[in-house]
Amino acid sequence: MLTTLACAAIENALNLLLDKEPSLKLALEQVKHKTLAVEIRDWHTTYALTFTGKQFMLFNNYQEQAECKISAHLETLPELKDPSVMTQLIRQDKLDLEGDLHLAQAYSGAFAKLDIDWAEHLSAYIGDAPAQLIIEKGQQTKTCLSHSATTFAGTFTQLMQDELKVAIHPLELQQFKQHTRALKQHAAQLEQHIEQLLNR
């Protein structure tokens, strides 16, 4: 019930955004009627977004076939604002993508290019000065939270790797991958050598 209400609220917000920013409609013209499904691994739920040419439609618990399906953890999703990092995230196993990569990049690029003047939109309801104050305080809070999150993530990672020895250090992981590749190559060479001996 709550998920459905939240989904409806997000869909409504997206359609309001579409009214305020005509450039978004133009940017998504090429991908209208195509469905982008996003599986959030942390929640074991798949959402789907379709642009009809006039409005957005958002579905939760989506089970149907989609032109493009993305699967990622919640923390990875903000990185998708930059379409150029998608292939990098796939290589890092942070993102799985099935279907049309261009569809995902089109959505990502369209939302990334938005330059919304929130102060202007808010001023229509509460006036110029309060709107500007809210935006400034919001930006300060965002910067502060971002800095705190980065500091915490760094401290937590260091604690896990160095003190508690729970997490693997990136260098150890890299060495493990290199050893695994070398072992695979050695096994393949050995298999080839055995086949040659058997065929004599």
Position 36 scores a pLDDT of: 95
Per-position DSSP letters for 94-129, written without gaps between them: SEEEEE-HHHHHHHHHHHHT----HHHHHHHHH-HH
pLDDT of amino acid 47:
94
Residue with tokens 């309060």: 130
The reported pLDDT for the residue numbered 88 is: 86
Domains, the chain, in order of start with CATH, read 2-112 (3.30.1050.10), 131-198 (no CATH)
Beta-strand ranges (E) seen in 43-105 are 45-51, 56-59, 68-72, 95-99
Residue ranges in the chain whose pLDDT is less than 50: none
Angle between helices 128-158 and 118-126 (to 10 degrees): 130
Over residues 135-172, the pLDDT tens digits come to: 677 677 767 666 666 676 666 666 655 655 555 666 67
Nearest Cα to Cα of residue 107 among 192, 34, 16:
34
The distance in angstroms from the start CA to the end CA of the chain is 70
Structure confidence at residue 131 (pLDDT): 62
pLDDT of residue 176: 78
Structure tokens of 96?
Answer: 């799985």
| Euclidean distance between CA atoms 139 and 116, whole angstroms | 14
